[in-house]
Amino acid sequence: MSSREQQPLRLAVVGHTNTGKTSLLRTLTRDSGFGVVEDSPGTTRHVEGAHLLVDGVVVVELYDTPGMEDGIALLDYFDQLTQPGERIDGPERIRRFLQSPESKKRFEQEARVLHKLLDCDAGLYVVDVRDPVLGKHKDELAILASCGHPILPILNFTHSPEQRLADWREALARLGLHAIVEFDTIAPALDGEAQLYDKLALLMDQHAGLLQALKNDIAQQRDIRRHDATRLIAELLIDVAAWHLPCEPDETALEQATLSLRRIVRNRENLCVHNLLKRYNFNIRDFSAQALPLDGERWGMDLFHPQALKDVGIHVTKGMAAGAMAGATLDVFTAGISLGAATLLGAAAGGLWQGADKLGKRLLGRLRGYQELSVDDPVLRLLAIRQLTLLSALEQRGHAAQSPIQLESGLNPDASAASNLAVADAWRQQALPDELQEARSQPQWSSFDANHTTGPRREQAIRSLAAKLAPSGA
């Protein structure tokens, strides 16, 4: 890489007022706190900067600039800055304007934009494709082109039903701008950033190596986030599948134990949700009270409500639909271990649980008439589907989004996330993975268990399950 390419690429984010310039920087930097985003013009009144790093080194500097508001009048003013018969090029015309009195008065905001663009290597011109193409936009582009730097139009809000993509593509082509990028800052495509940097590399081949390094890093970081997310979900499922809650064999104790089981599992799900949000650099404010009140009894609908299972296509037995123990299974204390009565009695007589062996304690509890509750298979399926649906939503969400995350029971995302939801869909009908079947007989794998232990076999099960939760090709 040459010494010039080793310098950060400096990009000015420019455009008309209220087109989503700050939103673009929020999404590119994965920082929902950058700048101020409001649905009103003139929110950004000064230049703000952000950095994109690869291996701790700044490779791109991004500068958010104020919106241009009076391009038509400014272009007319430019004509007053040249003498009859005088020929000056675009950058000289811009510099002459920046030295004029009007750059500090009527056109102060435009002057800030042009000063920053002159100081940068290129400009990203953000377009709100919901707006009609007007003369002011064409004049803005003529003014920006005078700076002598490449301009890459970024077509924002492309998912809106009010978008005018065809109009904007035609207008930009007539202005000689054929390299453009569709990048919805609210819900960008998974490869949206890669497309943006590919187009920049075409315009600025001297920076192609740097932009390729940035693209590679973005893809790597996306894979790491997804790996971490699927591990978080796998840990949740192992925790819940392995857990067995002992209870005495009477109706009151059973009812209390069932309530305790539900509460603990809900809290564990909420912890997983918090961790997923944090891993994708979102926070709990990104959920509406209706969609996911983590401190209450519901996530859309309560995890243990039979209707919540039906809503995502999970078959519910009559027993579960009946009610009081919905979502819980009453098991013997052996957790599926096949031991005959003679063996069990012989073990008791021989004192095989001396030394507080974990399995011995469970067998002894069975002899004494204790029962245990575990989470039913349909609830495990629902847990997996809900987390995978959330993961899909997070991967499709830009950090400029202001509306709460919506998790639809129908699970109909954009095509870019279809592979994520294909995995979720498999949880409706297929048998539980072998890792969860094994966890059923390993209560010490659950962090809820008093004798919780970690070990290589549990770690192997988590890794294997996380791999199955990842979409194909990830």
Q: What is the Cα–Cα distance from 296 to 270, expressed in whole angstroms?
A: 10
| Pairwise pLDDT comparison (353 vs 236), residue with the higher score | 236
Q: Going by C-beta distance under 8 Å and a sequence separation of 6 or more, which residues neighbour residue 401?
A: 186, 187, 286
Going from the C-alpha of 74 to that of each of 68, 124, 221, 362, 422, the distances in angstroms are 10, 20, 43, 82, 53
pTM above 0.75, yes or no: yes
What pLDDT, on the 0 to 100 scale, is given for residue 389?
87
Structure tokens at 94: 């811009």
- Give the least confident one: 51-65, 135-149, 365-379: 365-379
pLDDT tens sequence across 116-140: 999 999 999 999 999 999 999 999 9
Average pLDDT estimate for 282-303: 55
For the chain, the domains span 9-203, 227-329+371-469, 334-369
Q: Going by C-beta distance under 8 Å and a sequence separation of 6 or more, which residues neighbour residue 372?
A: 244, 245, 246, 247, 330, 331, 332, 333, 335, 365
Reported confidence tier of residue 101, pLDDT bands at 50, 70, 90 = very high
Task: Give which of 266, 263, 221, 228 is closest to 386, Cα–Cα.
Answer: 266
In this structure, how many other beta carbons lie within 10 angstroms of the beta carbon of residue 307? 10
Fold of 9-203: Rossmann fold (3.40.50)
pLDDT tens sequence across 10-26: 999 999 988 999 999 99
**DSSP state string for 375-415:** E-HHHHHHHHHHHHHHHHHHHH--TT--SPP---TT----G
Reported confidence tier of residue 332, pLDDT bands at 50, 70, 90 = very low
